[in-house]
């Protein structure tokens, strides 16, 4: 592996800065041109060195300070169908199912992000009406204790 390739991999693991030309910033940090950085990354994708390329958004820094886990009481036969549909709503960052219990009837979970609590509650009500789900709860985040990027093994 060349010095440029090693430097690009090291920089990629740090994440991209929020800038209109993230590969230019990557190249500058790695000591090469933007074109070289793009070629190196393209080659890493082509040869399988990089299998996945994605981004993580810090919703707080993006201005989404009202965040809630919305729990939905849905029929088990509709969980997959509703999960797929609900995950497509623009303010939903993730959606998943968990087992119900006698004490907790909620089977489907969505994380909704918004700028205000009222906005998040409105989004949940609209989803409820559109999807025909009557029993749900909006549980607002109070504090984020820890978030780990498991792919990179760091917080």
pTM tops 0.75: no
Q: Considering the domain boundaries, does residue 152 fall inside one?
A: no
| Ranges of the chain with pLDDT below 50 | 151-155
Q: What is the largest CA-CA distance in the chain?
A: 60
Indicate which CATH number applies to the domain containing 83.
3.30.70.3460
Reading the block at residue 32, the tokens are: 């090469």
Do residues 40 and 78 both lie within one domain?
no
Shared-domain flag, residues 42 and 74:
no
Q: What is the pLDDT of residues 56-96, one digit of tens each?
A: 666 666 677 788 999 999 999 999 999 999 999 988 988 99
The whole domain housing 21 covers 3-47
Q: Is residue 150 part of a domain?
A: no
**Does residue 90 form part of some domain?**
yes
Tally of domains in the chain: 2
Tell whether 98 and 135 lie within a shared domain.
Answer: yes
Q: Tell me, rounded to whole angstroms, the distance of Cα 83 from its chain centroid.
A: 16
Query: Taking Cα atoms as reference points, which of 117, 120, 58 lies closest to residue 89?
Result: 120
Structure tokens at 3: 């010095």
Same domain, yes or no, for 43 and 90? Answer: no
């Amino acid at each position: 592996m060349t010095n440029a390739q090693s430097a690009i991999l090291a920089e990629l693991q740090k994440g991209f800065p929020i800038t209109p030309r993230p590969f230019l910033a990557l190249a500058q940090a790695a000591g090469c041109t933007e074109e070289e950085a793009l070629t190196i990354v393209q080659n890493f994708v082509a040869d399988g060195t990089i299998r996945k390329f994605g981004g993580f958004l810090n919703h707080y820094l993006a201005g989404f300070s009202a965040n809630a886990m919305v729990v939905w009481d849905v029929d088990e036969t509709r969980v997959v169908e509703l999960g797929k549909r609900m995950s497509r709503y623009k303010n939903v960052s993730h959606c998943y199912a968990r087992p119900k219990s006698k004490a907790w009837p909620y089977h489907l979970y969505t994380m909704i992000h918004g700028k205000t609590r009222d906005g998040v509650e409105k989004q949940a009500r609209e989803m409820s009406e559109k999807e025909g789900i009557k029993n749900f709860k909006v549980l607002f985040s109070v504090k984020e204790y820890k978030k780990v990027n498991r792919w990179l093994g760091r917080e």
